[in-house]
Amino acid sequence: MTSRVGVRPVLLVVGVCALLALLCLASLAFGASGLSFGQAMGGLLGSPQSRQVENVVWSVRVPRTAIGLIAGAALGLSGNLMQALTRNPLADPGLLGVSSGASFAIVLSIAVLGLRTLYGYIWFAFAGALVASVLVYLLGRLGRAGLTPVKLALAGVAVTSLLSSITSAFVLTDPDALDRFRFWSAGSLASADGDLAARILPFVAAGAVLAMAAAPALNSLALGEDVAASLGRRLGLVRLQSVVAVMLLTGGAVAVIGPVVFVGLVVPHLARILTQSAGIGPDHRWLMPLSAALAPCLLLAADIVGRLVAEPLEIQAGVLVAFVGGPVFLALVRRRRLAEL
Amino acid sequence: MSLHTEPRIPHFRLAVPPVSGVLRPRTVAVSAVLAVLAFLVLSWDVTVGDYPIGLTDVMRALAGAGDPGTLVVVRELRLPRAVVALLVGVAFGVSGALLQTMTRNPLASPDMIGLTQGAGTAVTASIVLGWGGGPLGIQGVGLAGAALTALVVYVLAWRRGTTGYRIILVGIGVSWICTSATDYLVARGGRFQAQEALGWLVGDLNGRDWSAAVPLAAAMTVLLPVALLLGRLMRTLQLGDEVATGVGTRVQSVRLALLAAAVGLVAFGTAAAGPIAFVALAAPQIAQRLAGAAWPPLVASGLTGAVVVLFADVVARTLIAGVELPVGVVTGVLGAPVLIWLLARAYRADSEG
């Protein structure tokens, strides 16, 4: 990166940061309680406001926005990492069953062990994410032709449907669990409280550091496993590092906002398009931070729209993301030729 | 493409116009054994319940003899459920066999390409938003959902013709969208609606009576013969689109007709009992191995499906005393090893997707 950095990359960074800041402000300003923008900003900046305004802003909207930022960044990084590691444009923590592994483990820990707190079950979320991602990866590698996108996607569907049928069995026999589970499983930021954001932050931060550190090795891996190995990359180490990062990022995000599909799929593609147009090319040292910044934009935008369109009800962010992300997935499938997949 | 040269398998030609075909003794024998097995498991399924009835009494009651009390319990309460299980199993098995042969991919089943998810979204919507009452209403809604999803998948996979692999990937994308919509509807609905919807989404036979069995049986009397007739044309598709066109098969219209038959079967089955996981995926593969054939034989696939669903129903009701698990949970768990095994050996170098 010592070579010249032109104007366009700078513009890109500034633009993405501005967009993210704008969405954060919008997420703080809009919502069901109908504060004016001025009131919300006043409450945020500490100018004298009614007790109620301060309460809404600080105990509802700030945590919600923070969760959107953290979980979004986690899903974006995790998606980019998985796409790079599997060299598969269709990889996503939701599509490949990692999220359902985490949510299965969480439901299990709640239903069987009676755990109620995030610190109680987040370890189960990590374990579930780890087991599911390794399982899907191994399943996708089985057979003679190695890892192909179709096999990987099918393995993800298979693991997801297996885990979700067992999850349903637990949830169906316990009406109270069902009541909590159904909101969480649609992928919502609404249940966020202040503590939650602070608690998952260390895990997500650790995952993000690992992901960033893997970027140069993933650049070599993009040239093929043999080339990467002959460039001196230790493939086993890179894989281990990436899988641990995926586990921390996905497990952390799922524990808080539920299994959200398609964020990790769409965002890396968007990041690649942007780096291309900025003249940088698909360099993971750029793609990782870009994904981490763009994914919260998508999640926050979906959350804001979901709060506003169906007032007084809310549409969960995960549902809206799927309605945006699904068509992107379909477009990718239609555009790519078999050889390119 | 490496052509698989099979050892000579004994067979004889059936050539009585307008029907002609090849019958293999092993396939016929396997089908006969499966039919007997299906009847036995059905009888076993009928014996299970709060009021235990012996197997011989069940057999006698099925034949119309025995004391009136047993007769009523068997005919009005237990038999409808078992018959629904049987019919759903046959529908899923045949539908899976059609789709797997059509896409040349053993992993393409209605669960995988979004048909059951589409039906699930439609039924959840009808439960939560209060459209359509009664079992016929639910059946109709499920049918419409599956048919619409199939149409969407087919249209989106169309680009100067369709290929098997593109249908699968498009189906996966569509099924995820449907799943999200279902999640939203479940979260939006009331507590009891959510429970009803989720129960249906897992695949459940509890409380099925004749009103669920009759429409399913009626639909299958139409669709099964269509499926069996199409089965002949389907085999050329397995050679690849170019070869199939070369030997005179109208690839796209056959594929569309096959898709329609498979969708109809899976939609009526799903409407009656919910999407029972993995049956449509596993049954044809088991039947294919049993018959030693190069493709899933339709009749044997249907019968295997019936045996699997009936057996899973018995397990679901007897595994934990006093608790009736949804049958879909049992098939989901039983199906996982089958699936892993399939993934392990499904992909030959030439059928790579």
pLDDT confidence bin for A95, thresholds 50/70/90? confident
CA distances from B263 to B147, B175, B267, B273, B327 (A): 6, 14, 6, 15, 22
CB contact under 8 A, B184 and A330: no
Chain A residues with beta carbon closer than 8 angstroms to that of B170: 330, 333-334
Among the partner-chain residues A155, A175, A338, the one whose CB lies closest to the CB of B343 is A155
A128 min Cα distance to partner chain B (Å)? 17
CB atoms within 10 A of CB A85: 23
Note the pLDDT of residue A76. Answer: 94
Q: What is the mean pLDDT of residues B306-316?
A: 92
Mutation target for B interface from A319, A320, A340: give the one with most B CBs within 10 A.
Answer: A319
- DSSP codes of every residue in B81-115: HHHHHHHHHHHHHHHHHHHHHHHT-TT--TTTTTH
In a domain, B270, yes or no: yes
Domain made up of A85-334: CATH architecture: Orthogonal Bundle (1.10)
pLDDT confidence bin for B303, thresholds 50/70/90? very high
Distance CA A130, CA A128 (A): 5
pLDDT at A175 over 60: yes
Between B348 and B120, the more confident residue is B120
Would an 8 Å CB–CB cutoff place A79 in contact with chain B? no
Give the 3-state secondary structure of residue B23.
strand
Query: Percentage of chain B with pLDDT > 90?
Result: 10
Structural domain boundaries enclosing B140: 21-348
pLDDT at B284 over 70: yes
Among the partner-chain residues B165, B201, B326, the one whose CB lies closest to the CB of A150 is B165
CB contact under 8 A, A151 and B347: yes
Does the interface ipTM go beyond 0.85?
no
Domain layout of chain A by residue ranges: 85-334
CB contact under 8 A, B180 and A323: yes
Note the pLDDT of residue B309. Answer: 93
pLDDT confidence bin for B164, thresholds 50/70/90? low
Chain A residues with beta carbon closer than 8 angstroms to that of B181: 319, 322
Note the pLDDT of residue A34. Answer: 66
B23: which strand partners?
B12
Note the pLDDT of residue B349. Answer: 37
Note the pLDDT of residue B352. Answer: 39
CB contact under 8 A, A139 and B187: no
* Cα–Cα nearest to A323, from B177, B75, B280: B177
Note the pLDDT of residue B91. Answer: 93
In a domain, B11, yes or no: no
Mutation target for B interface from A165, A167, A340: give the one with most B CBs within 10 A.
Answer: A165
A241 min Cα distance to partner chain B (Å)? 26
Would an 8 Å CB–CB cutoff place A90 in contact with chain B? yes
What is the residue-averaged pLDDT of chain A? Answer: 81
**How confident is the model over B77-94, as pLDDT tens digits?**
788 889 999 999 999 999
pLDDT at A129 over 80: yes
Distance CA A275, CA A244 (A): 26
Distance CA A77, CA A67 (A): 15
pLDDT confidence bin for A315, thresholds 50/70/90? confident
| pTM for the full predicted model | 0.78
Among the partner-chain residues A140, A145, A333, the one whose CB lies closest to the CB of B173 is A333
Note the pLDDT of residue A9. Answer: 82
Q: What is the mean pLDDT of residues A240-262?
A: 87
Distance CA A42, CA B270 (A): 55
> How many domains does chain B fold into?
1
Mutation target for A interface from B154, B155, B177: give the one with most A CBs within 10 A.
Answer: B177
pLDDT at B232 over 90: no
CB contact under 8 A, A157 and B172: yes
CB contact under 8 A, B180 and A318: yes
In a domain, B88, yes or no: yes
Note the pLDDT of residue A213. Answer: 92
pLDDT at A37 over 80: no
Restricting to A residues 162-221, those with a Cβ less than 8 Å away from any Cβ of B are: 162, 165-166, 168-169, 171-173, 175, 178-179, 182-183, 185-188
CB contact under 8 A, A144 and B183: no
Note the pLDDT of residue B330. Answer: 86
pLDDT at B307 over 90: yes
CB contact under 8 A, A323 and B107: no
Among the partner-chain residues B174, B183, B195, the one whose CB lies closest to the CB of A178 is B195
In a domain, B272, yes or no: yes
Residue recorded with tokens 């970027």: A215
Distance CA A166, CA B236 (A): 39
Note the pLDDT of residue B12. Answer: 66
Note the pLDDT of residue B15. Answer: 62
Among the partner-chain residues A169, A178, A313, the one whose CB lies closest to the CB of B188 is A313
B170 min Cα distance to partner chain A (Å)? 6
CB contact under 8 A, A185 and B352: no
Chain A nearest-CA residue for B348:
A144
CB contact under 8 A, A143 and B168: no
Q: What is the mean pLDDT of residues A223-252?
A: 86
pLDDT at B1 over 50: no
pLDDT confidence bin for A340, thresholds 50/70/90? very low
Distance CA B114, CA B179 (A): 9
CB contact under 8 A, A142 and B343: yes
Distance CA A267, CA A296 (A): 10
Q: What is the mean pLDDT of residues B277-294?
A: 85
pLDDT confidence bin for B10, thresholds 50/70/90? low
∠ CA(A161), CA(B264), CA(B293), 5° rounding? Answer: 70
CB contact under 8 A, B183 and A139: no
Query: Percentage of chain A with pLDDT > 90?
Result: 14
Note the pLDDT of residue B306. Answer: 94
Between B159 and B289, the more confident residue is B289
Chain A residues with beta carbon closer than 8 angstroms to that of B180: 186-187, 261, 318-319, 321-323, 326
pLDDT at B132 over 90: no
- Contact present, B204 and A172 (Cβ < 8 Å): no
Q: What is the mean pLDDT of residues B277-297?
A: 85
In a domain, B6, yes or no: no
Between A54 and A64, the more confident residue is A64
What is the residue-averaged pLDDT of chain B? Answer: 79
Q: What is the CATH number of the domain that holds B272?
A: 1.10.3470.10
